[in-house]
Amino acid sequence: AQKITQTQPGMFVQEKEAVTLDCTYDTSDQSYGLFWYKQPSSGEMIFLIYQGSYDEQNATEGRYSLNFQKARKSANLVISASQLGDSAMYFCAMREGHRDGGATNKLIFGTGTLLAVQP
């Protein structure tokens, strides 16, 4: 069964420092997609970054980068130069594979990591 594991319930980081949020996944599919979402206390889910399983380079979006290690089945999110506004819940998610092959439209979410950025 497909599964996403986020082992860090909470993390602290000093403003302007980098932080890594861990995510490991389990799938037998050859083709899959991995996503990170940010959810501030106001509740909206904000798409941050995407990594496809066949992408040879790690995805980057501004201060966000994804450390994709396929053999280890990990897709850690790295936030550089943390800002106070980065304080939020962060969810790692994987697009669910279809039992008949290909991809469904459904996401499997991890349990999230609550990040607190300290001044």
Q: How many residues bind another protein (CB under 8 A)?
A: 20
Burial of 105 (0-12, 13-18, 19+ CB in 10 A): exposed
The reply on whether position 100 binds another protein by CB under 8 A is: no
In the complex, the smallest distance separating the C-beta of residue 83 from another protein, rounded to whole angstroms, is 21
Q: How far is the CB of 20 from another protein (least distance, A)?
A: 20
Q: What is the x/- site pattern for another protein, positions 52-91, by CB under 8 A?
A: ---------------------------------------x
Q: Does 116 bind another protein (CB under 8 A)?
A: no
Question: Which of 25, 35, 68, 90 forms a contact with another protein (CB under 8 A)?
Answer: 35
